[in-house]
Chains A and B, each alone.
Chain A
Amino acid sequence: MVKLVINKRVLQKVSPIALGYLVLGLACGMLGQKAHLNPLETTAMSILAYAGSSQFIGIAMMLQGASFFSIGLTVLMVNLRCALFSSTLAPFFSGWKSSALAGFAHGITDETFAVNLQSFNKENQPPWTTQEALTINVLGCIVWSISNGVGCFAAEYLNLNISLVSYILTAMFLGIWSNYLVKRTMIITGISAGILSIFLSMVVPYKLHIVLASLFCSSLATYLVIKHERGGNDE
């Protein structure tokens, strides 16, 4: 049976996530206000999407008046990494019904994934349960959405400098990006996509340059890596 479990180790594991979400959520809510979202809309977005990078990108593209198609495609691309997370967690949830899995999937983020995977692998007295994993996801979402709403509400009374706010979005992307700049191949792929994106942005309409540049460069990198692996096996 699927239920939430709040115990000492759940609270211990969720508190660093909650602290991070509190700060980031306030910032995200403030950015939402700059894109003319009211606190209700910001909170709805953070509950429905519950994905920081999606929301930042959605808000940034909304400010630029991007088309629905390119917003959808860009957000989808950004979230593809979560497919890796949920396929990694899938074996632990083999007994779950589809409807319960659908609920759990909603709460998978970079942070909840990292904590849950580590707990499934390391906690053994008693083993980490799927209920505890679900609780981590849900508590994270509650903190995230409340701080989004509060941030949006507070921003109405603060006079934020718009160019500074839009730079904070860039800094957020840079901060997330830095986590992926760990291998030479990753750095080269990211920088190539960045350069291609600049030039495509001058010729491609509807803000599609982000998707096109990242699709092209990530696919090329994949092709080269797999070709290299096969070459290595033949020798």
Chain B
Amino acid sequence: MMSKEYIWCVIIIVAVASYLPRVIPLLLLSGRGLPHWFKVWLTFVPTAIFGSLVFPDIFLLGNELNFTLNNIALWTTLLITPLALKTKSLGYTIVAGAVVFALLQHFI
């Protein structure tokens, strides 16, 4: 069980870390724009970070690579990825993911 202090510290940290990238350019740049290399870098950060988040979640089970039928997260993801890529919709991806995961969990 997590302590209340831990939870509140995380809330504050998440809030500050979310706010800084939003406010700094607005206060400092006032329309002058970001350096070119930084803009290029920013276009690559989201894809890299979401890749880094998703892959360990789907390929690892208990800290080990797992390609067996037991790894339901992996098979669910393979099944819903075409839909995610086609619709680019967070809502559809979540609903499809939840339904497919629950079905696989039930039948495997």
Contact = CB atoms under 8 A, between A and B. Distances in A.
B7 A202 contact: no
A171 B7 CA distance: 24
Nearest to B90: A175
A193 B52 contact: yes
B51 A190 contact: yes
Given A48-B15, A79-B21, A93-B26, A84 B84 contact: no
A222 B14 contact: no
Given A179-B88, A181-B85, A170 B50 contact: no
Nearest to A210: B52
Interface of A is mostly: helix
Interface in B16-50: 16-27, 29-34, 36-37, 39-50
A117 B96 CA distance: 30
Contacts of B81: 174, 178
A129 B96 CA distance: 38
A214 B32 CA distance: 27
Interface of A: 20, 23-24, 27, 35-37, 41, 44-45, 48-51, 54-55, 57-58, 60-62, 65, 68, 71-87, 89-91, 93-94, 98, 101-102, 104-106, 108, 161, 163-164, 167-181, 185-187, 189-198, 201-202, 209-211, 213-215, 217-219, 221-222, 225-226
